[in-house]
Structure 1
Amino acid sequence: MLELVCDQGYGANGVPVDRSPYRNHGRAVDAPGVAGPGGGALSFPMAGSAVALGLGGPARPFAPLVALRVEALVRLPDAAAARYGVVVDGDSAFRLAVDDGAPTVAVLNAGGGLEQVRADPASAPDGRLHPLPLGRWVELVAEHDGAAHLRLFMDGALVAAKVTGPGHVAAVRGRGVTIGNAVGGGMPLGGALARLRLWRHDPAAMRREFLARPMTPELAACWEEIIRRVRAWMAADPAGAAALLDAVRAETDAFLRALRLRPEPAQDRLRHALAEVLAAWFAGEIGGRRMEQAYGAWRAALAEQGFSSALPEVALADPAPWVVRPPPPTLDAGCDPQLLRFLRIMARAAAPGGT
């Protein structure tokens, strides 16, 4: 699930105002307003022309990124303008640019590895060069799914793609995000930009989904106590807690990458099966027959794709394989019996021959 962290449009006065909840308003330097669709755009005529975002204040919406989507509406007037220019640059994390007439995107993964595609025969699905059309507005979309794929689209058509090595998109570092130029300057976009949107993996999605089940005041108080106990446990053994979380995260990352590498029809079947599990969860039917059937179908769909029973969700339900002291707090059976029944459904489905 992606979260919109920057949504800039440029009215007739060229002020870079962000309409996302993060309010990443920019500071334009030598970037005059010009005519554009929807009322206005920005141009970048000087070596130092740019819109600087910084890191967006305390929310730091560019760290972490994990996954990334960039949407930009650009117009380049001629071939000279298309020689090289940066649309947007995130310090040591990502860059969308035009290189020798064709769009290109590069990302660094969290381990420092570079992944890059350009709309040329080496990366285009049809083996052809796809130069950016000149003299008109063109929509560019670049995306990294955070697990296995880097893709580049132009006016809705896929023009470059590759299977990446393992690893998330790295977090943006201290110099922040620059629009219309490289971080540090010297590579201005040779035309105009009318819109820029940045998306990242939503780090709060799992928490919101967990809390989306119906809760009584008593159940909410129960979970407040559980969270207090978990925090006390983490404070008592931060190294052990970090080791447990790192192990679960590594399993989850490996699972998601394997999932993303499956053919699209298989991914669609798995998404449908998971949607049924979430529908039962959101309805509060988490420990009964509906969930048992939905979760069994989800596990069966995974088995069809060759996934074993050793999935991250099972590790989350039973942290016993990791030796941490003191041990993680356990649920009180009288506190959230529905969730305990759900965990039993998970355990039964994961057992050999389980459904």
Structure 2
Amino acid sequence: MNIANAQGAIDIPTDAPAWRSIVGIRGEVTLLLDIDSEAFLIDSNSFNLFVRSGSLNGWFRSTPNQYAQVNSHWDAVTTPYSVPTGRWLTLGFMHDGLGTMELYADGDLVARRTGTYHPVNPPGPPGVCIGNSLSGGTPAAGRIDEVKIWRRNPRFMMEEFFERPMDDQTADCWRRFTSEVEDALRRHPECQVPLTELIQETVTGVLHSAANRGSETWKRLQTAAQQYRELWHSGDIDGDAMVSVFVKLFGWLEAVGINPSTDPNVLRITRSDCLRIILAEVKPPDCDRQMIAMYRKIADALGLYDDASLNTHGANP
């Protein structure tokens, strides 16, 4: 695509379901710029990639009102990076929806900014403009060969869950449970979007609480998450190693003023009327004995409940 003025740009509508929930986003543009001038490579009302004064910039909008930007001069990982003209290259950006924004040039990381960020908003009715700003006044003079944009995988948690080794009976148990939850949500459409958003907000809120306690707390949370994933993928979920991951993490969080069992973000979902309605209509997955053992051992170690029996609907740690 040759771009010399506003007529060279491409407008992409964003009314498809995939655009309605972004959270985290990544994109890249393969292009050749003819002149060193301000140029919008990708523009929307929630994220954009542009060149200004030679620097590459990623800009993002979130709700509540938050604007975040990463710049290849101000936030360079080594030396400041300036976008060259007259040759083909691939420029990229990333916002993980939580605490990191990055910029790339030909696959190399050139800039990073970290902080406490909210999930990226969906772009909305104006859509996404390729090769110019939405207003049409800042064309990327040159040629664009390819544009790729990815959102964070909305099925990531479910796919990770089923990565755990399990026998056919346990897998069937969880397929039945998820099918019953989907059926219950169809019977209560008023709960489907609010409950999905509440779960997302709860996870994000807990992570933000940890990030706000400083880099050491964030590092420990990331380490615990990696250890959890390794144990989960290996199938060793009900052993001492998994209990140790939770005990160490909860101990640290409480030391910095975060009590997961009374955290406002967690209480919002445990007290949700929609969650209560949906769970009342499905049979708990108590056929997964290994997971029940995991919950019981972790809860016992943390002193989260006294009852010797586990209610899968109400006693998850």
Sort the TM-score into its range (normalised by shorter chain): 0.7 to 0.9
Q: Structure 1 CA distance, aligned partners of 2:207 and 2:218? A: 11
- The residue aligned with 1:116 is 69
8 Å CA contact retained: 1:50, 1:180: yes
1:94 corresponds, among 38, 43, 47, to 47
1:203 corresponds, among 114, 131, 154, to 154
- The residue aligned with 1:83 is 37
- The residue aligned with 1:13 is none
Over 3 Å counting, the alpha-carbon distance change for 1:172 and 1:267 in structure 2 is: same
Shift of 1:92: 2.2
2:27 corresponds, among 70, 87, 99, to 70
| 3-state secondary structure, aligned to 1:199 | strand
| 3-state secondary structure, aligned to 2:20 | coil
8 Å CA contact retained: 2:60, 2:69: yes
Superposed, which structure 2 residues align to 1:211-226 within 5 Å? 211-226=162-177
2:6 corresponds, among 22, 47, 66, to 47
After superposition, the C-alpha distances for 1:134-181 in whole angstroms (9 at most, x for unaligned) are: 4445553322221244444557464574746x5211113345433222
Over 3 Å counting, the alpha-carbon distance change for 1:96 and 1:222 in structure 2 is: same
Tell me the TM-score normalised to structure 2 length: 0.74
- The residue aligned with 2:292 is 340
After superposition, the C-alpha distances for 1:51-107 in whole angstroms (9 at most, x for unaligned) are: 45545x96x443321112233344433xxx332221122x32211111243322222
8 Å CA contact retained: 2:198, 2:269: no
* Residue 148 of structure 2 is aligned to residue 189 of structure 1: no
| 3-state secondary structure, aligned to 1:114 | strand
The one-letter code matched in structure 1 to 2:185 is M
8 Å CA contact retained: 1:125, 1:158: yes
The one-letter code matched in structure 1 to 2:24 is A
The one-letter code matched in structure 2 to 1:173 is G
Moved more, 244-253 or 93-102: 244-253
Over 3 Å counting, the alpha-carbon distance change for 1:157 and 1:229 in structure 2 is: closer
8 Å CA contact retained: 1:48, 1:188: no
After superposition, the C-alpha distances for 1:179-206 in whole angstroms (9 at most, x for unaligned) are: 2223464432113345543232111110
Over 3 Å counting, the alpha-carbon distance change for 1:246 and 1:87 in structure 2 is: closer
- The residue aligned with 1:321 is 271
- The residue aligned with 1:234 is 185
Q: Structure 1 CA distance, aligned partners of 2:46 and 2:110? A: 22
* Residue 123 of structure 2 is aligned to residue 178 of structure 1: no
* Residue 221 of structure 2 is aligned to residue 270 of structure 1: yes
Q: Structure 2 CA distance, aligned partners of 1:242 and 1:192? A: 41
User: Any gaps of 5 or more consecutive residues in structure 2?
Assistant: 306-316
After superposition, the C-alpha distances for 1:276-324 in whole angstroms (9 at most, x for unaligned) are: 2222222223223343234334434545665423388x959x9653445
After superposition, the C-alpha distances for 1:99-147 in whole angstroms (9 at most, x for unaligned) are: 2433222222144543334455xx4469x98643344455533222212
User: Any gaps of 5 or more consecutive residues in structure 1?
Assistant: 1-30, 32-42
User: How many residues are paired up?
Assistant: 302
| 3-state secondary structure, aligned to 1:48 | helix
8 Å CA contact retained: 1:234, 1:241: yes
The one-letter code matched in structure 1 to 2:97 is G
The one-letter code matched in structure 2 to 1:82 is D
8 Å CA contact retained: 1:255, 1:311: no
Q: Structure 1 CA distance, aligned partners of 2:96 and 2:225? A: 18
Moved more, 340-349 or 301-310: 301-310
The one-letter code matched in structure 2 to 1:116 is Q
Specify which structure has the higher proportion of helix. Answer: 2
Q: Structure 2 CA distance, aligned partners of 1:100 and 1:326? A: 55
The one-letter code matched in structure 2 to 1:277 is Y
Over 3 Å counting, the alpha-carbon distance change for 1:215 and 1:133 in structure 2 is: same
- The residue aligned with 1:37 is none
Over 3 Å counting, the alpha-carbon distance change for 1:272 and 1:222 in structure 2 is: same
- Fraction of identical pairs, as percent: 23
Over 3 Å counting, the alpha-carbon distance change for 1:319 and 1:351 in structure 2 is: farther
